[in-house]
Amino acid sequence: MVSLTHFPQISLTDGKTAYGGSQDWFRNPWRKLSGCAAVSATNLAAYYGIGMVPDLPAPPSEPSGEGASAKAEVFSRKYYLDHMTAMFRQHMTTGMMGFPDPDKYITEFTAYAKEHDVSVTAQKQYERASVEEATSFLRERLGLDTPVVILILNHKADELDDIRWHWMTITGYDEESGEIVVSNYGRCERYAAATVFAPEEGNQVYLISFDRTAADGMRPEQMERSLRGGSGLQERASSEE
């Protein structure tokens, strides 16, 4: 099993914890339907600490269960939703067809990072890769402790109906079971890699990951102070309508 050392945990009002964000939290109906790109980008921002810092203390004991990590970083639902909303408005705004453009996703997340004095470089594996090529990409990127976002557009597998035309965040790859582990609607879910990455005509699957470095020669301690200074993105976002 190759997986991230940690992933954002969001404290919910019922005492439960979400595994990353969920577009169901949006109150606006269109954002609920089409906001998956903004959610996945917010997951990346929280994971890398770009304009976001945990606003709740880590749990006193190590979490357990699928998706748990020893380095838990905990956010409040309101804080996370504020960032999701701002990300949707300012960078991952959807059109009539949602947000189906992986190159635009790279452009917008790169621009978001630059706003916070962070330079990111995209690594990508696009459609029609073999299962072996796709899982090799996942092993490499997750082995470097970098999350991978996945966009599934068209796909022939009936069992993937619910995640067609959809962005998710990959946090692990279980080599024993052959499954990818993803954050989807605040849940930790698994899908068979052989199904997701089947290189059949008509299947469209895109993988993107980002390397993060300090921008313009900024020293690590300067970057840390910049990131810990709060999020201009959140400050510019008003409450969701």
| CATH number for the domain that contains residue 182 | 3.90.70
Number of domains, the chain? 1
| pLDDT of 148 higher than 90 | yes
Distance CA 17, CA 232 (A): 26
Q: Report pLDDT for 129.
A: 81
Q: Report pLDDT for 42.
A: 98
Count CA atoms within 13 Å of residue 78 on its CB side.
5
Q: What is the pLDDT of residues 63-118, one digit of tens each?
A: 545 655 556 799 999 999 999 999 999 999 999 999 999 999 999 999 999 999 99
Higher-confidence residue of 226 and 47: namely: 47
Indicate whether 117 belongs to any domain: yes
Indicate whether 224 belongs to any domain: no
Per-residue H/E/C for the chain: CEECCCCEEEECCCCCEEECCCHHHCCCHHHHHHCHHHHHHHHHHHHHCCCCCCCECCCCCCCCCCCCCCCCEEEEHHHHHHHHHHHHHHCCCCECCECCCHHHHHHHHHHHHHHCCEEEEEEEECCCCCHHHHHHHHHHHHHCCCCEEEEECCCCCHHHHHHCCEEEEEEEEECCCCEEEEEECCEEEEEEHHHHCCCCCCCCEEEEEEEEEEHHHCCHHHHHHHHHCCCHHHHHCCCCC
Q: What is the pLDDT of residues 52-72, one digit of tens each?
A: 999 998 876 555 456 555 567
Q: Which domain holds residue 137?
A: 2-216
Distance CA 234, CA 184 (A): 23
| pLDDT of 237 higher than 90 | no
Q: Report pLDDT for 227.
A: 42
Indicate whether 201 belongs to any domain: yes
Q: Report pLDDT for 95.
A: 94
Indicate whether 47 belongs to any domain: yes
| pLDDT of 23 higher than 80 | yes
Indicate whether 231 belongs to any domain: no
Q: Report pLDDT for 72.
A: 73
Q: What is the pLDDT of residues 115-145, one digit of tens each?
A: 999 999 999 999 678 999 999 999 999 999 9
Indicate whether 222 belongs to any domain: no
Q: Report pLDDT for 61.
A: 52
Q: Report pLDDT for 177.
A: 98
pLDDT band, very low/low/confident/very high, at 224 (cuts 50, 70, 90):
very low
| pLDDT of 159 higher than 80 | yes
Indicate whether 229 belongs to any domain: no
Q: What is the rounded average pLDDT of the residues 151-167? A: 96
* CA geometry: angle 112, 118, 120, nearest 5 deg: 80
Q: Report pLDDT for 214.
A: 58
| pLDDT of 174 higher than 60 | yes
When the pLDDT of each residue in the chain is averaged and rounded to a whole number, the result is: 88
Q: What is the rounded average pLDDT of the residues 13-22? A: 94
pTM of this structure: 0.87
Strand ordering across the sheet containing 17-19: 17-19, 8-11, 73-76
Q: Report pLDDT for 58.
A: 80
Q: Is 53 exposed, middle or buried (0-12, 13-18, 19+ CB in 10 A)?
A: middle
Distances (CA, A) of 67 to 4, 9, 64, 111, 219: 9, 9, 8, 29, 33
pLDDT band, very low/low/confident/very high, at 222 (cuts 50, 70, 90):
very low
Higher-confidence residue of 126 and 219: namely: 126
